[in-house]
Amino acid sequence: MAILELDGAQLVYEVEGEGERALAFAHGWCSKLEHWDAQVEYLRATHRVVRWDRRGMGRSRTDRPADSPTRHADDLAAILDHEGIDRVTIAGHAGGGPTALSFAADHPARTEGLIMVDSTVHAMPAPGEDDPFGTSVTRSCERLRSDGDPYFRRIYAGFFGRRAPAALVADAVDNAVATPIDIAIGEMLHMVGDTASVARRVRCPVLWISARPEDTAIARDLFSDVMIGHVVGSGHFVQVEVPEQCNPMIAAFLADMIDR
């Protein structure tokens, strides 16, 4: 474990593995770097692997919430600079998706590929149009503020499928509710920014892994060079619940980039 102090934050991160190519993993909303354990174990023999607790979450600390996904992307760039790593394939799970998108769009020279793991890309509605996802997120933020811990625990446990081990779910929930409420709400609101516009600036190859087959059209519309994989029998935490499905998809994507 290492700590980088940056702009009022203490960023906890880990760098493991060997290889000429590097991977970076951004965890999801109120999650932690350990939720990529299975991927690190699978890939560390062939890649350097960077993962970090995004500011205010996990073991990282901050004096104020990140103002946008760009801040998290810049945090990763600073960690890479500190470790002497030039280029990475960046993966983002769920609420870490906007971070991964921002890194790929804002640091194209440093991005070999982008992996989105059961994440959501949000387009701003036209005037007068409904925004079901935005409305749902806004209501959840209101409930987090008014109902606090019980609501937080209930929605977070609901992210997991019914086959997920109870101990795994309990640990994830306990970690999540330790997140300061202002950070939890701020991070949730990042997901309803215009992330579709950010996605359209991405020029690297993309792997889209999802537990929801219905989002295939969205991925194909947003990215010009995309490989799509769907898992079965999983909840929202795909990389934790079904790593035996997720990991080979990542490996195939990485191999495809090398073969080009």
Tell me the per-residue pLDDT of 195-226, one tens digit each, with 9 for 90 and over: 999 999 999 999 999 998 888 889 999 999 99
Query: Domain range spanning residue 246?
Result: 2-259
pTM (2 decimals)?
A: 0.96
Question: For residue 172, what is the domain's CATH number?
Answer: 3.40.50.1820
pLDDT classification of 126: cutoffs 50, 70, 90? confident
Count of other CB atoms within 10 angstroms of residue 64: 14
How far apart (Å, rounded) are the C-alpha atoms in residues 183 and 178? 10
What's the CA gap between 47 and 257, in Å, rounded? 14
Classify each residue of 144-162 as buried b or exposed e, where b means 16 or more C-beta atoms within 10 Å of its C-beta. beeeeeebbeeebbebbbe
Percent of the chain with pLDDT over 90: 87
For the segment 68-116, what is each residue's pLDDT rounded down to a tens digit? 999 999 999 999 999 999 999 999 999 999 999 999 999 999 999 999 9
User: For the chain, what is the domain count?
Assistant: 1
Write down the H helix ranges in 223-242: 238-241
